[in-house]
Amino acid sequence: MAIELWWLLVLPLFFALGWIAARIDIRHLVRESRALPRSYFHGLNFLLNEQPDKAIEAFLEAAKVDPETVELHFTLGSLFRRRGETDRAIRIHKNLVERDMESGRLSDEQRVQALSELGQDYLKAGLLDRAEEIFIKLRGTSRDEDALKALLEIYQQEKEWARAIAIAGELGSHGDHLWHNEIAEFHCELAANELMHGHNAATREHLEQAINANRKCIRATILQGDLAWSENDTEGAIAAWTRVEAQNAVYLALVADKLMQAHRKAGRTEQGLQLLRAYLERHSSLDLLDVVVSAEMEAGGPEAAYQCVRDELRRNPTLIGLDKLLEAQIYIAPPERRPDLELMKNLIHAHTRRVARYRCDNCGFKARQFYWRCPACGGWETYPPRRTEEFDLAP
C-alpha cells in the first residue's frame, strides 16, 4: 500500500512538470516565429503551392528585413540557379562569401556550403575557370566528393582528358561507382587525338590503358582497327573491327563502311559484301542497311541495291527502309514513272526526318548526329547508333 501511495503522489508532479515544459517550448516557438518577417511565411506558402516566382519575391523581401538570414540566402540562390538566373544566384552566394571574409560570422559548414553553391553557380553559367578555382579550394573539406565530381565535369567540358583521368581515379575511392568506363573513354579521347596527329606509339599506349580500365570498351576496339588501318595493316584492321559484333552488334554500323573499304583494298570485295549481308541479316540496323545498299549499288548496280532493300524491308518494315526502297526503285524505273516515285519519296522523306534521329538509352535525348558521350546527360556509350524508329519498333 505504501508503494502505491508513493506513485499516486509522484504522478501528478510528473504531469505538472511536463505541462510547464510544453508551455515554455510553445512560448519559445511563438517568440521565434514573431521575430521572423511575415514575407518569410508568404515565401514558404508560395513554395508549397509550387509558385516559385512569387516565392522568390517574398524571400527577397524577407532578406531585406533580416540580411543575416543565411539559410534564406541559400534558398534564394538555389531558386535562382534552378530558374537559370545564374547572375542573381552568383550575386547572392558571392555576397555571403565576401561578408564572411569581412566578419567571419558563418560557421565552418556554412562557409563551405556558400563556396560550393557559388562554384555550382559558376559551373551552370559556363564560367569554368572560376568554378574550377572554387572546387579546388573545396578539396579536403566536407564537400570533397562534390568538388571532385564538379571538377570531373569541368575537365570533360574543357576536354582536359589527362586531368579528368586523375580526378576519376580519385573518385574511385568514393561510393560504389568505380569510374572504369569513364576512364577508358578519356583514354580513347586522347588516343583519337594522337591518332589524328599521326602519333601511333602514343595512340597504342592510350588504347592499352583504355582496355586495361574496361576490357569491354567498344570504342577502344574500333580505334585499334583505325590504328592498324593507318599503319597499312589491313588484316589487323579487319580483325579489330569484326570483334565489335561480339562486344555490341549495335555498333557494327560504325565499322561497316570501314570493313568494306578494307576488303576492297585486300581484293576481297565480294567477301566483304557477304560479311555485311550476314551482319544485316543477324542484326537489323538502318545505318547498317545504308552501308550495305551503297556497297550493293557499287558492286551490282541499282537492281542489286533494290533487291537488298526489298528483302530487308520484308524482314523489318520501317519508314526509313521504305524511303530507301523508293530511292533504289527510282534508278531502275522507266523514265515515265520516276516523277511519281520521286513525289512519293519526298512525302515519305518528310516523315522519316522525325524518326531518323539517334536517342540516348539513359535520358532519351535525341539528335541527328552520333555522339560517344550524350550531350544531355553526359553518359558515355549510352547513345548507340540506332534511329528513333528502331527504338519504337523494338519489343
377 assigned binding-site residue: yes
Rounded CA gap, 313 and 320, in Å?
Answer: 9
217 assigned binding-site residue: no
188 assigned binding-site residue: no
Q: How far apart are the first and last CA of the chain?
A: 79
360 assigned binding-site residue: yes
Rounded CA gap, 70 and 87, in Å?
Answer: 19
Extract the C-alpha cell encoding 136. 579546388
Nearest to 324 by CA among 299, 291, 278: 291
φ, ψ dihedrals at 361, nearest 5°: -65, -25
Rounded CA gap, 220 and 211, in Å?
Answer: 7
Extract the C-alpha cell encoding 393. 519498333
Extract the C-alpha cell encoding 368. 541527328
What size, in residues, is the chain? 395
Annotated binding site: 360, 363, 374, 377
Residues placed in the known binding site for Fe cation: 360, 363, 374, 377
